[in-house]
Structure 1
């Protein structure tokens, strides 16, 4: 017995070392076919294999149980091979319904095969039972009299034990291979490549912005699957919470696992596999730990670069363009040619960190300068750059954009971007649109509206109480440059009526509207209030 076990284990281990791939749990070595192929048991398939489903004999045999109950299903679990001597059919040997109902119950319970022990109760397999199994496509095999049921159960248990040993052996070997890969010059990429080889599956690493940065084997996913997976990963990144999930994109199953801590994800590991058993998950977990460590080790470098990038922004705000150029050179780049559009990005600290990581990738190929400023993340790009729109598409942020400016005018452009953010409510606020509303448009605030309503209250109250039209007359008069005749024509009344109303309004307001400051104050109040 010991020698038999040792040989089974050794064979399974050699197979793992030879293939180096995860074995699909559904393709177990402890199958109905493996049981029938044991020459020492002398089992005989009683139904032609061609009459069965193509995968019927390759289903995993999770255990072997024997019972002669008419309905043993309450005591069975899915994936069992059931052995019987047919005692339950002794009283109804010719009842076709009894045999068919029996087989149907076994099939509904998930029994993968039925073994009949011949020459115990009767010779051979009952034809009605054979016919019922044939119609149900349930594998039926004969167990000869000299083969004890316990021998069949023991053979299957040995196969399960050998498979379990092989899986553990594979897991240890795979973890060693992954650990060695991590010691190579590009440890992270080598680790992912080794994981893909061990699992026999596509593996991809997404960064904190939801972009695919590494994949093995490269280009294996079709465009539709890639787009669907990108969308799923982007949703995971936006949530910002640590999580593991399984999903399907089209017909392809994927496992996703976040890297990093909650609220500050470093990336997402994606594996094109829907069959990760405990041993496979252990290998994936070790890779996640290594990848997470490698990404966290970059934090020190990123912090140093962040300080330099912040120095660039503060130097530009101080008007020291030469110092800013030196800082940018230290980062391995150069200030792009003017003019530039300055963007101020508002968001949570974690969101701005993720946006900065994404911008660092963009800056490697595009003329972009960015860093932390006094009011959030500050970005300078070419005036026609789509960066502002891309930022709000990728991250929950608001972006104010200045008018084009020279580098020496950076501080003024920065103020314009901040003013656009304060003035406009959209995700992207552009100073050009804000400037179009003029200086009075910038007064649109709760305080301004309260003050305007208070200053106009005497007129609105007078018109409401006495049925006069002092306020409309004043607006028309001011709109026509305080000209009586033009206002009268616009209102369709006599000029003396306008003159009388203006005098009455001055009395109600207690103000002399012949002076420009008084008229400007009244006009501003009308603009802000919208009356």
Structure 2
């Protein structure tokens, strides 16, 4: 756009300012010029257009009526063209413009209105050329920043050379990948992630009293992140929007590049499990693969397996933007339903932040992490608790569990800790309650055995045994199931069980006799008592 001041500065137009209008009006942007002699041009003049007129309407309406129409159209001002019949601008027009607060300019008779149109066209052409040149320069700078590995931060730095805007890049996992001119807190970042999860994604959000515009960043059609500008969309100029949209496209290239790297690392890390589990000749490759991820294979190595216990719709994996440090932290890619929730990324971020060299591998049912460990074995459970706390902060409302497999003295001894960690994790995953961190050694033998049996068969067994008790309790308002649980919890001690239930021992005997009648299992027989114990244990599993 141009301004009235820029037109006046063009000496060839020979414009004279009769009324500058309100303060700053001469410097306000003007949309275009409009030549009219209509008595009421308000229906045809667009907002912020400059009205050019010779006053041929004067025989039909007063100057005040004409100016009122121009004012209703919210025009930028009036240029009155002098001619032989009107060698000076009519005083009533001057008075009407003064009363309306409208800028009024005068153009000499020798200068046609087309000269103004041509000057405006030239201004627009110059501005367009300058804008295109700026876009090309900025594109070159963005491409250079990305090619040199500057990543997301480099893109923001290029943007802020031309536009002093508060900017941040947030991925759909709620992580701030980079920021410039502002800082987002965790709550604001989570709000952005929630906005990206909408369908369609949000383009403007309230971040705790601050309105922010979102420019979407994606790779291969998905929305992976947002370039966040802490300004409302309505306050951003055309040049600013164009720059932000251009930066968003370059950020998409960065995300695509990082996702390609992550895909390679996913396969590279995933092969590590095969090497460890297969043994034989491939076991010799384990040490080299660990070194590639910055993990010393000659040092003690711990293994932990994690997963979510609750069913939850898988959310798309977060972007990899700004993850050039993957090799040093040992974060590998993700695959499968569990990995697609972003659990592997959360685990990788935890170990990277703790400065612990690690390899994180996302699988179909769990996420396995192999990491350097020089502390005592007793310190592993507290570490796992801190890890789960970090995961829960990333995924509020989700229940995660961790199985510990112990510590291998060096890489060649990793197979057993790996198997133990995954088995402990599998057992914990099937439990709706109870501890969230357990080592293989801490799990009861019966839990490990149950984990090896087909789940449909197990639940069928538990259902058949417990249903008669539950039906009886539902019909009679009884406590047979609760009584059985209490008896087994108290290791079959009659007096202790009766005291815990606040009933007489004879009442307890009558209830357990009824249990035997309904189930065909007598709590006095070890074999039957084991069946009842297992049925209740299975019932507590998913």
Q: TM-score, length-normalised on structure 2?
A: 0.67
- Deviation string for 1:99-137 (max 9, x for gaps)? 2x6434423423111122346665644445434433433
Larger displacement relative to structure 2 (152-161 or 504-513) = 504-513
Once the 2 structures are TM-superposed, how far is the Cα of residue 501 of structure 1 from its aligned partner?
7.1
- Deviation string for 1:145-167 (max 9, x for gaps)? 44333333333233223333333
Please give the residue correspondences for 1:146-161 in structure 2 after superposition, counting only pairs within 5 Å: 146-161=110-125
Once the 2 structures are TM-superposed, how far is the Cα of residue 521 of structure 1 from its aligned partner?
3.4
The residue number in structure 2 matching 1:375 is 365
Q: TM-score, length-normalised on structure 1?
A: 0.68
The residue number in structure 1 matching 2:330 is none
Q: Which has the larger radius of gyration?
A: 1
1:412 to 413, 420, 430: 420
Once the 2 structures are TM-superposed, how far is the Cα of residue 258 of structure 1 from its aligned partner?
0.7
The residue number in structure 1 matching 2:332 is none
Larger displacement relative to structure 2 (103-112 or 173-182) = 173-182
Contact 1:209/1:358 (<8 A) preserved: no
Report the Cα distance in structure 2 between the residues aligned to 1:32 and 1:384, rounded to whole angstroms.
Answer: 68
- Please say if 1:388 is aligned against 2:391: no
Once the 2 structures are TM-superposed, how far is the Cα of residue 72 of structure 1 from its aligned partner?
0.9
Report the Cα distance in structure 2 between the residues aligned to 1:468 and 1:243, rounded to whole angstroms.
Answer: 53
Larger displacement relative to structure 2 (500-509 or 152-161) = 500-509
- Please say if 1:43 is aligned against 2:15: yes
Please give the residue correspondences for 1:68-107 in structure 2 after superposition, counting only pairs within 5 Å: 68-90=37-59, 93=62, 99=64, 102-107=66-71
Report the Cα distance in structure 2 between the residues aligned to 1:205 and 1:529, rounded to whole angstroms.
Answer: 46
How many residue pairs match? The answer is 482
1:343 to 292, 306, 310: 306
Once the 2 structures are TM-superposed, how far is the Cα of residue 52 of structure 1 from its aligned partner?
1.0
Contact 1:476/1:491 (<8 A) preserved: no
Contact 1:171/1:280 (<8 A) preserved: no
Please give the residue correspondences for 1:164-183 in structure 2 after superposition, counting only pairs within 5 Å: 164-176=128-140
Report the Cα distance in structure 1 between the residues aligned to 2:194 and 2:475, rounded to whole angstroms.
Answer: 59
The residue number in structure 1 matching 2:527 is 517
Once the 2 structures are TM-superposed, how far is the Cα of residue 412 of structure 1 from its aligned partner?
1.8
Contact 2:48/2:76 (<8 A) preserved: yes
1:306 to 266, 269, 274: 266
Report the Cα distance in structure 2 between the residues aligned to 1:528 and 1:482, rounded to whole angstroms.
Answer: 20
- Please say if 1:63 is aligned against 2:73: no
Contact 2:405/2:422 (<8 A) preserved: no
- Deviation string for 1:299-349 (max 9, x for gaps)? 565444334423444556679999655432222233786666532368567
The residue number in structure 1 matching 2:324 is none
Structure 2 residue matching 1:69: 3-state secondary structure: coil
2:5 to 13, 33, 36: 33
Report the Cα distance in structure 1 between the residues aligned to 2:480 and 2:127, rounded to whole angstroms.
Answer: 95
Report the Cα distance in structure 1 between the residues aligned to 2:96 and 2:271, rounded to whole angstroms.
Answer: 82
The residue number in structure 1 matching 2:322 is none
Structure 2 residue matching 1:384: 3-state secondary structure: helix
- Please say if 1:137 is aligned against 2:101: yes
**Structure 1 pair 322/233, CA: closer, same or farther in 2 (3 Å)?**
farther
Once the 2 structures are TM-superposed, how far is the Cα of residue 57 of structure 1 from its aligned partner?
1.2
- Deviation string for 1:230-287 (max 9, x for gaps)? 4465346656x9979466867786552314123484x5445678646489848964x6
**Structure 1 pair 133/358, CA: closer, same or farther in 2 (3 Å)?**
farther
Tell me how large the CA RMSD over aligned residues is: 5.2
